[in-house]
Amino acid sequence: MQTRRKSSNVLLNTALQEFYGAADEMGLNERLISILSHSERMMQVSIPVEMDDGSVEVFDGYRVQHSTALGPSKGGIRYDPGVDMDECEALAMLMTWKCSLAGIPYGGGKGGICCDPLTMSRREKERLTRTYAARIEPILGRWSDVPAPDMNTGGQEMVWILDTVSKMRGKLEPAILTGKPVSYWGSMGRNEATGRGVATCGLELMRVLDKNPGSMTAAVQGFGNVGSFTAKTLNDAGVRIVAISDITGSYYSAGGIDIHRAFDTVRANPKKLLEGFEKTGNCEKIDDVLFAECDFLFPCARDGVINSETAGKIRARYIVEGANGPTTPEGEAVLDDAGVMVVPDFLANSGGVIGSYFEWAQNLQGAFWTEEEYNNKLVHIMKGNFRRVWDYSEAKNIKMRRAATMAAIQRVADVSEMRGLFL
Q: With helix as H, strand as E and coil as C, how does the chain read? A: CCCCCCCCCHHHHHHHHHHHHHHHHHCCCHHHHHHHCCCCEEEEEEEEEECCCCCEEEEEEEEEEEECCCCCEEEEEEEECCCCHHHHHHHHHHHHHHHHHHCCCCEEEEEEEECCHHHCCHHHHHHHHHHHHHHHHHHCECCCEEEEECCCCCHHHHHHHHHHHHHHHCCCCHHHCCCCCCCCCCCCCCCCHHHHHHHHHHHHHHHHCCCCHHHCEEEEECCCHHHHHHHHHHHHCCCEEEEEEECCEEEECCCCCCHHHHHHHHHHCCCCCCCCHHHHCCCEEECCHHHCCCCEEEECCCCCCECCCCHHHCCCCEEECCCCCCECHHHHHHHHHCCCEEECHHHHCCHHHHHHHHHHHHHHHCCCCCHHHHHHHHHHHHHHHHHHHHHHHHHHCCCHHHHHHHHHHHHHHHHHHHHCCCC
Instruction: Specify the pTM.
Output: 0.85
Residue 312 placed within a domain? yes
The share of the chain scoring above pLDDT 90, in percent, equals: 90
Residues 154 and 197 in one domain: no
pLDDT at 184 over 80: yes
Residue 420 placed within a domain? no
- Domain end position, chosen among 291, 326, 348: 348
Residues 197 and 344 in one domain: yes
Residues 159 and 263 in one domain: no
pLDDT for the residue numbered 19? 94
Residues 211 and 161 in one domain: no
Residues 134 and 208 in one domain: no
pLDDT tens for 55-100 read: 999 999 999 999 999 999 999 999 999 999 999 999 999 899 999 9
pLDDT for the residue numbered 151? 87
Residues 154 and 264 in one domain: no
Residues 200 and 155 in one domain: no
- Domain end position, chosen among 323, 348, 373: 348
pLDDT for the residue numbered 43? 98
pLDDT for the residue numbered 179? 92
Residues 205 and 166 in one domain: no
Residue 374 placed within a domain? no
Residues 202 and 341 in one domain: yes
pLDDT at 324 over 90: no
Residues 89 and 222 in one domain: no
| 226 touches 303 (CB < 8 A) | no
The share of the chain scoring above pLDDT 70, in percent, equals: 99
CATH number of domain containing 162: 3.40.50.10860
CATH number of domain containing 198: 3.40.50.720
Radius of gyration of the chain (CA): 21
Residues 164 and 203 in one domain: no
pLDDT for the residue numbered 294? 98
Our count of domains for the chain comes to 2
pLDDT for the residue numbered 231? 98
Enzyme catalytic residues: 110
Residue 84 placed within a domain? yes
Residue 217 placed within a domain? yes
Query: What rounded mean pLDDT belongs to the chain?
Result: 95
Residue 415 placed within a domain? no
Residue 249 placed within a domain? yes
pLDDT for the residue numbered 14? 86
pLDDT at 423 over 60: no
- Domain end position, chosen among 171, 201, 216: 171
Range of the domain at 316: 193-348
Residue 147 placed within a domain? yes
> Is residue 422 very low, low, confident or very high in pLDDT (cuts 50, 70, 90)?
low
pLDDT tens for 253-282 read: 999 999 999 999 999 999 899 999 999 888
pLDDT for the residue numbered 10? 85
pLDDT at 1 over 70: no
Residues 76 and 152 in one domain: yes
